[in-house]
Amino acid sequence: MSDVRLLGTVGDARAFCEEARARGAVVGLVPTMGALHEGHLSLLRRSVAETDVTVVSIFVNPLQFGAGEDLEAYPRGFEDDVRLCAAEGAEAVFAPGAAEMYPAPPVTNLDFGELSAPLEGVHRPGHLPGVGVVVAKLFAIVGACRAYFGEKDWQQLAVVRRLAADLSLPVEVVGCPTVREPDGLALSSRNAYLDPAERAAAVVLQRSLRAGAALIEAGERRTGAVEAAMAEVLASAPLLGPVDYACVVDAATLAPREPLAGELRLLVAAHLGGARLIDNLGATVPT
């Protein structure tokens, strides 16, 4: 296990990354909220393989939690997280406190327009703007880098890509495939909220996505028919709570397509016990 440097302040993190670039190193950034699992570690490993110096940020960002959400209960395990980062070859962990990241309540608001309005924008209206602010800060602190994000949070990934492009930030945003359990459940820190029965039921999200994708592959081009098939699978699951959405959209714009064509993304969000779970799957209709 290698040593990992702990960076607690914005100044320390910025100086560390500037020094690395000054000696010719390519910096990789893996932004996380901690409670690291194999999904996070897959991003870390890719950064270690593709860059010279990997920095993992661990910060539970209060801006992306709405009223009544799980900010206080969100899983935390800092010492274990640091050990995992060291074991996987990260050079540094940037773990600021809330007062360090936000010395004063931020007044800057990032509006991503139609990219953030649907889906999570409807059900968690402050979430993506809050993600945008903290990611913009991380990019400003770390500077020129390759930043690794998982595809499980597809809408978040789309927003981050647009953020970097619109502001001409010196950051290459790298999307990485979703890591899954053997039964298909997408890895998430919130899976820790599930009891055994809920955990068994959670695979219905992936089943619904595959049902929709199979219809598209079989030639179905009506959005409504695909979404109805997804909803039917979800409705068959025991214990599943409210379904926030089960839809198929354009993969890049997240806008509906009728008829279905090109690169698509099927997305689902549903409540199960004390957890809100999301997942997605790609599909392609040749044009």
Q: Which residues are catalytic?
A: 40
Confidence grade of residue 76 (pLDDT, cut at 50, 70, 90): confident
* CATH 3.30.1300.10-classified regions of the chain: 189-278
**Alpha helical stretches, state H, the chain:** 10-22, 38-50, 78-88, 98-101, 120-123, 127-142, 154-166, 196-201, 204-217, 223-235
The pLDDT of residue 270 is above 70: yes
pLDDT of the residue at 238: 87
How much is the average pLDDT of 217-226?
98
pLDDT of residue 72: 80
Cα distance between residue 245 and residue 267, in whole Å: 7
Question: What pLDDT does residue 233 have?
Answer: 98
The sign of the torsion formed by the CA atoms of 247, 265, 158, 135 equals positive
Cα separations in angstroms, 177 against 92, 104, 226, 266, 271: 24, 36, 23, 15, 23
Q: Domain 189-278 in CATH: superfamily? A: Pantoate-beta-alanine ligase, C-terminal domain (3.30.1300.10)
Amino acid 1: pLDDT? 45
Residue 113 pLDDT > 60: yes
Residue 287 clears pLDDT 90, i.e. is over it? no
> Smallest Cα–Cα separation from 55: which of 145, 134, 189?
145
CATH 3.40.50.620 intervals, the chain: 5-176
Tell me which of 3.30.390.50, 3.40.50.620, 3.40.50.720, 3.40.640.10 is the CATH number of domain 5-176. 3.40.50.620
Structure tokens of 255? Answer: 């806008």
Average pLDDT over the chain, rounded to whole?
Answer: 96
pLDDT of residue 2: 62
Distances (CA, A) of 123 to 70, 94, 179, 196: 15, 30, 24, 27
